[in-house]
Chain A
Amino acid sequence: MIQISRYHSRSRLLNKLIRIFTNPVHVISALALIFLVYMVAFPIGQILLETFQEDGRGGAASGGLTAANWVNVLSGSISQPLFYKPLFHSLSIGLTVSILSFLLGGGLAWLVMRTDFRYKKSMTMLAILPYMLPSWVMAFAWMSVFKNDRIGGGQGLFYSVFQISPPDRLAYGFLPIVLTMTLNYFTFFFLLLSVALGAVNASLEESARILGASSARTIRKITLPLLIPAISSGFILTFSKALGSFSVPAFLGLPTKYYTIATMLHSSIQNRMIQEAYVLCIVLLMVCALLIFFNQKAIGKRRSFATITGKDSRKHLYSLKKWHRPITWTVLGFMGAVSALPLIVLTLQTFMMSNSQFSLDQFTLHFWIGESNPAIASGEVGVLKNDALFSAIGNSLKIAFIAASIAALMGLLFGYIVSKRRNRLDGRAIEQLSYLPYLIPGIAFSAIYLSMFATPSWFMPSLYGTITLIILICVVNELPIATRSGASTMHQIGGELEEAAYVQGANWGRRFTRIMLPLSKKTLFTMFLLLFISVIKELDLIILLITPENGTLPTLMFKYAESGFQQYANALMLIIVGIILITYFIASKIGKIDFTKGIGG
Chain B
Amino acid sequence: MNKTLRKWIPAGLALSSLLAVTACSNDSTNEANAEEGSSWLEEANLDANETPDELYELAKEEGKVVVYSQSSRIKDVKASFEKEYPGIQVDAFDLGTIEIVEKVAREQEAGLNTADVVFVKDGGGVVSGELLSEGMLHKYAPDDIVEKLDETFLDEPGLPFYFSTRAIFMNNEVYDESTITNWWDLTDEEWKSKIVMDDPLLSSDTLDLFTTIVQNADDMEAAYEEKFGNAIELDGTDNAGYEFIKQLLANDPVFVSSGDDVVEAVGTPGQEKPPVGITTSSKSRHIEEQGYTAEFLYDVEPKMSVAGTSYLYMANNAEHTAAAKLLIRWMAGEADGQGEGFRPYNVPGSWSTRTDVSVEGQRPSSDLSLWPYDGEYLYDHSNDVRNFILANQ
Contacts and interface: CB of A to CB of B under 8 A. Distances in A.
Interface stretch (A215-223, A231-239, A464-472, A584-592): A464-472
A56 to B, nearest CB: 8
A102 to B, nearest CB: 29
Nearest to B129: A57
A57 B271 contact: no
Interface in B347-393: 347, 379-383, 386-387, 390-391, 393
Contacts of A466: 1, 5, 9
Contacts of A354: 290-291
Contacts of B148: none
B261 interface: yes
Interface stretch (A306-314, A494-502, A528-536, A544-552): A544-552
Interface in A12-66: 57-59
Given A250-B202, A267-B201, A272 B101 contact: yes
A81 interface: yes
A59 B109 CA distance: 21
B254 A150 contact: yes
A562 interface: yes
A254 interface: yes
Given A450-B106, A454-B106, A272 B126 contact: yes
Contacts of A152: 194, 196, 265-266, 268, 271, 274-275
A78 B391 contact: yes
B260 interface: yes
Interface in B259-274: 260-261, 264-268, 270-271, 274
A354 B264 CA distance: 13
A154 B268 contact: yes
Interface in B281-307: 283, 285-286, 289-291
B319 interface: no
A4 interface: no
B237 interface: no
B382 A455 contact: no
A450 B105 CA distance: 11
Interface residues of B, number: 78
Interface in A440-467: 443, 447, 450-451, 454-457, 461-462, 464-467
A290 interface: no
Interface in B236-274: 254-257, 260-261, 264-268, 270-271, 274
B20 interface: yes
A462 B13 contact: yes
A151 interface: yes
Nearest to A543: B99
B274 to A, nearest CB: 5
Choose among B20, B255, B268, B271 the residue with the greatest number of A CB atoms under 10 Å from its CB.
Answer: B255
Contacts of A409: none
A70 interface: no
A549 B4 contact: yes
A81 B393 contact: yes
B391 A455 contact: no
A267 B202 contact: yes
Contact of B199 (A77, A254, A555): A254
A254 B256 CA distance: 6
Given A81-B390, A150-B254, A462-B13, A547 B383 contact: no
Interface in B6-25: 8-9, 12-13, 16-17, 19-20
Contact of A82 (B98, B193, B390): B390
Nearest to A267: B201
Interface residues of A, number: 60
Nearest to B5: A549
A377 interface: yes
Interface stretch (B39-47, B86-94, B334-342): B86-94
A342 to B, nearest CB: 18
Interface stretch (B110-118, B149-157, B223-231): B110-118
A461 B12 CA distance: 12
A396 B352 CA distance: 38
A209 interface: no
A57 B383 CA distance: 9
Interface in A363-415: 376-378
Contacts of A57: 129, 379-380, 383
Given A263-B202, A548-B92, A462 B16 contact: yes
B95 A543 contact: yes
A177 B110 CA distance: 41
Interface string B54-85: 00000000000000000011000000000000
B100 to A, nearest CB: 10
Contacts of B114: 465
Contacts of B93: 547-548
B112 A464 contact: yes
Contacts of A549: 1-2, 4-5
Contacts of B290: 354-356
A376 B98 contact: no
A77 B383 CA distance: 13
B120 interface: no
B203 A547 contact: no
B177 interface: no
Contacts of B204: 270-272
A263 B20 CA distance: 38
A597 interface: no
A550 B1 CA distance: 7
B103 A254 contact: no
Contacts of B102: 443, 447, 450, 544
Given A78-B390, A81-B393, A549-B2, A443 B98 contact: yes
B209 interface: no
Contacts of A378: 73, 285, 344, 347
B107 interface: yes
B254 A151 contact: yes
B308 interface: no
A467 B5 CA distance: 11
Nearest to A58: B380
A378 B274 CA distance: 27
A213 interface: no
Nearest to A250: B257
A27 to B, nearest CB: 30
Interface in A534-574: 543-544, 547-550, 555, 559-560, 562-564, 566
B213 interface: no
B111 A455 contact: yes
A562 to B, nearest CB: 6
A456 B193 contact: no
A548 B129 contact: no
Contacts of A255: 254-256
B103 A450 contact: yes
Contact of A153 (B4, B91, B264, B386): B264
B256 A562 contact: no
A154 B387 CA distance: 33
A563 B72 contact: yes
Contact of A450 (B107, B126, B254, B274): B107
Nearest to A545: B103
A555 to B, nearest CB: 8
Contacts of B387: 77-78, 82
A297 interface: no
Contact of B110 (A270, A455, A544, A548): A455
9 contacts: A58-B380, A82-B387, A254-B255, A254-B257, A447-B103, A455-B111, A467-B1, A543-B99, A564-B285
Given A543-B99, A555-B94, 15 more contacts: A57-B383, A77-B391, A151-B261, A251-B257, A254-B256, A259-B201, A270-B203, A271-B204, A443-B102, A451-B106, A454-B112, A455-B110, A462-B17, A549-B2, A564-B285
Interface of B: 1-2, 4-5, 8-9, 12-13, 16-17, 19-20, 72-73, 91-96, 98-99, 101-103, 106-107, 109-112, 114, 124, 126, 129-130, 193-194, 196, 199, 201-204, 207, 254-257, 260-261, 264-268, 270-271, 274-275, 283, 285-286, 289-291, 344, 347, 379-383, 386-387, 390-391, 393
